Structure 1
Amino acid sequence: MKEFPLASLRRRWLDRAADILAQQEHRRWPLPVRSWFMFQSWQDLLFAHWPMPAPQIEKLLPDGLALDTYAGEAWVTVVPFRMHGVRQRFTPAAPWVSSFPELNVRTHVKGSNREEPRPGVFFFSLDAGNPLAVAMARKFYHLPYFRAQMACRVRDDGIRYTSRRTHRGAPEAEFRAVYRPTGPVYPAAPDSLEQWLVERYCLYSVDSRGRIYRGEIHHRPWPLQPAEAEFERNWVAQAHGVFLPDTEPLLHFAKRLDVLTWRIEEVNT
Structure 2
Amino acid sequence: MRKFLTAKWSDLVMANYEVAPEILADLVPKGVSLDFYEGKCYVSLVAFMFLDTRVLGIPVPFHINFEEVNLRFYVKREMADETRRGVVFVKEIVPRFAIATVARVFYGEPYEAWKMSHAKIENELIYAWWKRDDAHHVKVEIGESAGVPAENSHGEFIIEHYWGYTKRGGNRTDEYKVEHPKWELFDVNDYEIKVDFGKLYGDRFAFLGDTKPDSILLAKGSEISVYKGAEI
TM-score range, shorter chain: 0.7 to 0.9
- What stretches of structure 1 move > 3 A for 4+ residues in a row? 112-117
User: 1:126 maps to which residue?
Assistant: 92
1:195 to 156, 162, 166: 156
Q: How big is the shift at 1:52?
A: 1.5
Residues 47, 77 of structure 1: 8 Å contact kept: yes
Q: How big is the shift at 1:221?
A: 0.1
| 1:17-166 correspondence to structure 2 within 5 Å | 34-91=1-58, 93-111=59-77, 117-156=83-122, 158-165=124-131
Q: How big is the shift at 1:112?
A: 5.8
User: 1:254 maps to which residue?
Assistant: 219
- Structure 2 gap ranges (5+): none
Larger displacement relative to structure 2 (227-236 or 120-129): 227-236
Q: How big is the shift at 1:185?
A: 4.3
Residues 145, 184 of structure 2: 8 Å contact kept: no
Residues 120, 200 of structure 1: 8 Å contact kept: yes
How many Å separate the matches in 1 of 2:43 and 2:199?
A: 9
Residues 123, 142 of structure 2: 8 Å contact kept: no
Q: How big is the shift at 1:90?
A: 3.6
- Structure 1 gap ranges (5+): 1-33, 167-171
Residues 176, 234 of structure 1: 8 Å contact kept: no
Q: Counterpart amino acid of 2:220?
A: K
Q: 1:116–1:265: structure 2 CA closer, same or farther, 3 Å change rule?
A: farther
How many Å separate the matches in 1 of 2:143 and 2:82?
A: 38
- Residues 155-199 of structure 1 show CA distances to partners (whole Å, capped at 9, x for unaligned) of 346112211257xxxxx9742121132111400101112111110
Q: 1:250–1:108: structure 2 CA closer, same or farther, 3 Å change rule?
A: same
TM-score by length of 1: 0.77
Q: 1:174–1:204: structure 2 CA closer, same or farther, 3 Å change rule?
A: farther
Q: Counterpart amino acid of 1:141?
A: Y
Q: How big is the shift at 1:61?
A: 2.2
How many Å separate the matches in 1 of 2:44 and 2:199?
A: 9
Partner SS state of residue 95, structure 1: coil
Root-mean-square deviation (CA, aligned residues, Å) is 2.4
How many Å separate the matches in 2 of 1:105 and 1:236?
A: 12
Residues 124, 237 of structure 1: 8 Å contact kept: no
How many Å separate the matches in 1 of 2:136 and 2:144?
A: 25
Q: How big is the shift at 1:212?
A: 0.3
User: 1:183 maps to which residue?
Assistant: 144
Q: How big is the shift at 1:226?
A: 1.5
Residues 9, 221 of structure 2: 8 Å contact kept: yes
Larger displacement relative to structure 2 (155-164 or 134-143): 155-164
- Residues 45-64 of structure 1 show CA distances to partners (whole Å, capped at 9, x for unaligned) of 20111112222223432343
How many Å separate the matches in 1 of 2:98 and 2:65?
A: 11
Q: Counterpart amino acid of 2:41?
A: A
Q: Which structure: greater strand fraction?
A: 2
Larger Rg, first or second structure (1 or 2): 1
| 1:220-259 correspondence to structure 2 within 5 Å | 220-227=181-188, 228-235=190-197, 239-240=201-202, 241-242=204-205, 243-244=207-208, 246-259=211-224
User: 1:29 maps to which residue?
Assistant: none
How many Å separate the matches in 2 of 1:226 and 1:215?
A: 30
